[in-house]
A and B are shown apart, each in its own frame.
Chain A
Amino acid sequence: MVTVNGARYERTVEPRLLLSDFLRNELGLTGTHVGCEHGVCGACTVLLDGEAVRSCLMFAVQADGHAVTTVEGLTDGGGGPLHPLQAAFHEAHGLQCGFCTPGILMTLVPFLRDHPHPDEREIREALSGNLCRCTGYQNIVAAVRLASDGIPTPDR
């Protein structure tokens, strides 16, 4: 039994099934992406009881009795208004192909909860476990600053 984005699911699964595959294939929550399946890229990051974890490094059975939040959970199943962090990414052009984005958002949600006003070094440190092959991170950092302090980074 697992709670995902507020809804309870009961399923019988193979012990070896990864949490990432469970979310994507069993529950159809395909907003959680998979980029490496060995804990390097961070694309698969979700919240487990409010903390960021890599869903490719967990078995689905390990989530038994816990609450999982995926990117869909930030907007009430994908249809609600954008979360302020998502809005900041939109405003600051914090994504290009967007494949890394859900994992980055799910990494930053608890980070900003614990560090409401991070400086640039702290932001980069927080992002160091997520790979983005498109943006070069500049605008991701700008988006986090915008979300945390309302500071728009001037266009370069």
Chain B
Amino acid sequence: MESRRQIGERVRRTEDARLLTGRALFVDDVRLDGMLHVAFLRSQHAHARLTGMDATAARARPGVVAVYTAADLGDYWRPGPLLVPPPPIAGLVFNACTQVPLAKEKLRHVGEPIAMVVAESRYLAEDALDDIVVEAEPLPAVVDLEAALAKGAPRVHEHLPSNVAAHAVQRKGDYARAKQRAHTVIKRRFRYDRGASAAIENRAVAAQWDPRAEELTVWDTTQAPIPIRNGLAQLLGLLESQVRVVAPFVGGGFGPKIMMYYPEEVLVPWAAMKLGRPVKWTEDRQENFFATTQERGQIHDAEITLDQSGKILGVRDVFLHDTGAYDPYGLTVPINSQCTLLGPYEIPNYESEFTAVFTNKTIVTPVRGAGRQHGVFVIERLLDFAAKELGIDRAEIRRRNLLRRDQFPFNNEILFQDSAPLTYDSGDYEPALDQALELIDYHRFVREEQPRLRAAGRHVGIGIVCYVEGTGIGPYEGARVTVEPGGRVRLATGVGTQGQGHFTAFAQIVAEVLGVDVADVHVITGDTREFHWGTGTFASRGAVVAGSACQAAALRVREKILELASQELEASKADLVLAGGSVHVRGDPSAGITLGALAVKANPLRGAVRPGTEPGLEATAYFGPDRGSTASGVHAMLVEVR
């Protein structure tokens, strides 16, 4: 029997049984003896000066255990870290203003937490919110991006001279010269509205301090349990190994669950330690709409110049980016917009300038696409306008500008959000365009169908979009693979899961390398006690980075298996086959040895582990890419407007 292919096969997901039957653990399902519950008092003002607060009545309410304001936090009160320092772009202006755990003197957006109530039940905690008296003097709010930059606009952060959070220019070639040669110049303004990703599971944090073991356990709906652990350990003065962060099943991430650190994430574990009782907070949907980070708001003034044949000579884009009240995520979002605008096209001259703007709105961090889609929107709209103006078919104008297969790796000469040059590793874009056009029967539709429909009074339009997506960025992920004595394989990796199917996809990779069944690979993700090196689930990097680490670890275990089996079966490693959970000599599947039996032999009760060898069939490996990998795609659709 030869080993069966597992990657690329249609398999059923191994995580589904737990999810379908209600057995899967989500953070809000955590319930512990003596658990206390939290509600937050939040700003009702977009912008206000906080002049006074009185929590006496709340503290006196039966069932209330504690009420904390900024003043009660003492030294623990400090602004959050700057998560992603901006890339070294020449001439960059960047003002870091990160979120605070509880507002002190000023309220900067609706939903900003002001006080934390800890009570015997969530109902009681919410009752007590009404007892807290807040004195606030409302200030004019900064909402509109352009008005935010006007002279004399109210300032979100008064220590700064204006609401400019950042200003950056990136250039490739010489746009001004390209424009002199242009046959056609098209200039348009594009607005992209703000939105919320609204995962169906709201955020939640539960924490328990075990004074005997001196260990803190935190359950968190985060996309990045390991960085959360490391950060909490530092904040709380604990060893990293004293903090265990578990991101169990998470009901959708979409980016906002990788914001670090939300005020609630910092306060709930602190309160659990202070009070010596388990504490849990679960966001409600209303809180989710203003306390969970958002994205999208940008205004682009973009210009494209082309020659007569529709070849792009250059693009210039000036845009405003709404970063909300704070900017803990640095410039990830606007730089993604800036870089992704270049798309799959050869754009020899590019000038892109953006200003990130503080506003009195919810904090902006990456959400589904992390700014990339804004760039795609701008270039694709420009190409549609250009096609119309030049009388070229819209699919054709795209085809004429696509990078060719022989142009890779392709250096775009500007910096990407991970500070590496924006270089596309590989690509072949035309076949995808052809396939998409075929799927909507584009040419026939344009020739026959659309005029017929139009004559009948129906308005059916076409959308075609080509894009590239920088994915799979570093720094690294790791995995540990262990063959257990029973023959099943255990795989632990640091990334958490929010619905991507990691349990199955990672199992497929390991199953294929070791010749076992997918169902026999038991996967553990997102628990720092199981694996504590890595970063998290974001930027479409799980399969690329963590998946490669799973493969590397499995290959090492495979090597150990072959080494041991070659001794046991008295055969050369080259003649051995791993399949069906056993190892056998090629051509003789009857005389084999199971992986379980080998695992037992690899961990004997007597007899020393020889120098240079390790017990067990286990290995840990890491994968760190030099730079992100470039995915690409084409969307095509017919849309009727009625």
Interface, chain A (partner B; CB < 8 A): 14, 16-17, 24-25, 28-38, 40-41, 43, 70-72, 74-75, 78-79, 82, 86, 89-91, 93, 95-102, 105, 131-134, 155
User: Do A82 and B19 touch across chains, with their CB atoms under 8 A apart?
Assistant: no
Q: Is B199 an interface residue (CB 8 A)?
A: yes
Closest to B29 in A: A30
Minimum CB–CB distance from B122 to chain A (whole Å) comes to 8
Closest to A76 in B: B21
A90 CB contacts on chain B under 8 angstroms: 12-13, 16-17, 20
Given A25-B31, A30-B29; A95-B200 close (CB under 8 Å): no
User: Do A82 and B20 touch across chains, with their CB atoms under 8 A apart?
Assistant: yes
Beyond A38-B285, A90-B12, list 11 extra A-B contacts (CB 8 Å). A14-B123, A31-B23, A32-B22, A71-B22, A75-B21, A95-B16, A97-B499, A98-B24, A98-B249, A99-B252, A101-B20
Closest to A32 in B: B22
Minimum CB–CB distance from A40 to chain B (whole Å) comes to 8
User: Do B200 and A133 touch across chains, with their CB atoms under 8 A apart?
Assistant: yes
> Of A25, A99, A105, which is within 8 A of B26 by CB?
A99
User: Do A35 and B19 touch across chains, with their CB atoms under 8 A apart?
Assistant: no
User: Do A97 and B201 touch across chains, with their CB atoms under 8 A apart?
Assistant: yes
A28 CB contacts on chain B under 8 angstroms: 31
User: Do A30 and B22 touch across chains, with their CB atoms under 8 A apart?
Assistant: yes
Q: Is B284 an interface residue (CB 8 A)?
A: yes
Interface size on B, residues (CB 8 A): 36
A86 CB contacts on chain B under 8 angstroms: 20-21
Closest to B202 in A: A35
A100 vs B16: C-alpha distance when bound (angstroms)? 13
Closest to A42 in B: B200
Minimum CB–CB distance from B56 to chain A (whole Å) comes to 25
B200 CB contacts on chain A under 8 angstroms: 33, 35, 41, 43, 97, 99-100, 131-134
A9 vs B202: C-alpha distance when bound (angstroms)? 29
Closest to A38 in B: B285
Between A and B, 13 residue pairs with Cβ closer than 8 Å are A33-B251, A41-B200, A71-B21, A74-B21, A78-B22, A86-B21, A90-B16, A90-B20, A95-B499, A97-B199, A97-B249, A97-B498, A133-B197
A72 vs B252: C-alpha distance when bound (angstroms)? 22
A37 CB contacts on chain B under 8 angstroms: 284-285
A102 CB contacts on chain B under 8 angstroms: 22
A90 vs B24: C-alpha distance when bound (angstroms)? 15
Minimum CB–CB distance from B12 to chain A (whole Å) comes to 6
Minimum CB–CB distance from B510 to chain A (whole Å) comes to 21
A133 CB contacts on chain B under 8 angstroms: 197-200, 252, 254
A89 vs B12: C-alpha distance when bound (angstroms)? 10
A75 vs B24: C-alpha distance when bound (angstroms)? 14
Minimum CB–CB distance from A32 to chain B (whole Å) comes to 7
Minimum CB–CB distance from B239 to chain A (whole Å) comes to 32
Q: Is B15 an interface residue (CB 8 A)?
A: yes
Minimum CB–CB distance from A139 to chain B (whole Å) comes to 11
A43 vs B250: C-alpha distance when bound (angstroms)? 14
> Of A34, A38, A70, A89, which is within 8 A of B20 by CB?
A89
A99 vs B16: C-alpha distance when bound (angstroms)? 11
Given A14-B123, A33-B251, A133-B254; A82-B22 close (CB under 8 Å): no
Given A37-B284, A133-B198; A97-B250 close (CB under 8 Å): yes
User: Do A33 and B19 touch across chains, with their CB atoms under 8 A apart?
Assistant: no
Given A96-B499, A133-B252; A101-B19 close (CB under 8 Å): yes
User: Do B21 and A78 touch across chains, with their CB atoms under 8 A apart?
Assistant: yes
Q: Is B28 an interface residue (CB 8 A)?
A: yes
User: Do B499 and A35 touch across chains, with their CB atoms under 8 A apart?
Assistant: no
A1 vs B29: C-alpha distance when bound (angstroms)? 24
A14 CB contacts on chain B under 8 angstroms: 123
User: Do B21 and A31 touch across chains, with their CB atoms under 8 A apart?
Assistant: yes
> Of B21, B25, B285, which is within 8 A of A36 by CB?
B285
User: Do B499 and A72 touch across chains, with their CB atoms under 8 A apart?
Assistant: no
A74 vs B13: C-alpha distance when bound (angstroms)? 20
A89 vs B501: C-alpha distance when bound (angstroms)? 14
User: Do A134 and B252 touch across chains, with their CB atoms under 8 A apart?
Assistant: yes
A74 CB contacts on chain B under 8 angstroms: 21
User: Do B21 and A89 touch across chains, with their CB atoms under 8 A apart?
Assistant: no
Closest to B500 in A: A96
User: Do A31 and B249 touch across chains, with their CB atoms under 8 A apart?
Assistant: no
B29 CB contacts on chain A under 8 angstroms: 24, 30
A120 vs B4: C-alpha distance when bound (angstroms)? 37
B10 CB contacts on chain A under 8 angstroms: 155
Closest to B122 in A: A21
User: Do B249 and A72 touch across chains, with their CB atoms under 8 A apart?
Assistant: no
Given A71-B21, A78-B22, A98-B20; A91-B12 close (CB under 8 Å): yes
B13 CB contacts on chain A under 8 angstroms: 90, 93
User: Do B285 and A31 touch across chains, with their CB atoms under 8 A apart?
Assistant: no
> Of A38, A91, A134, which is within 8 A of B499 by CB?
A134
B19 CB contacts on chain A under 8 angstroms: 95, 97-98, 101
User: Do B26 and A33 touch across chains, with their CB atoms under 8 A apart?
Assistant: yes
- Residue of B12, B197, B201 with most chain A CB atoms under a 10 A cut-off: B201
B25 CB contacts on chain A under 8 angstroms: 30
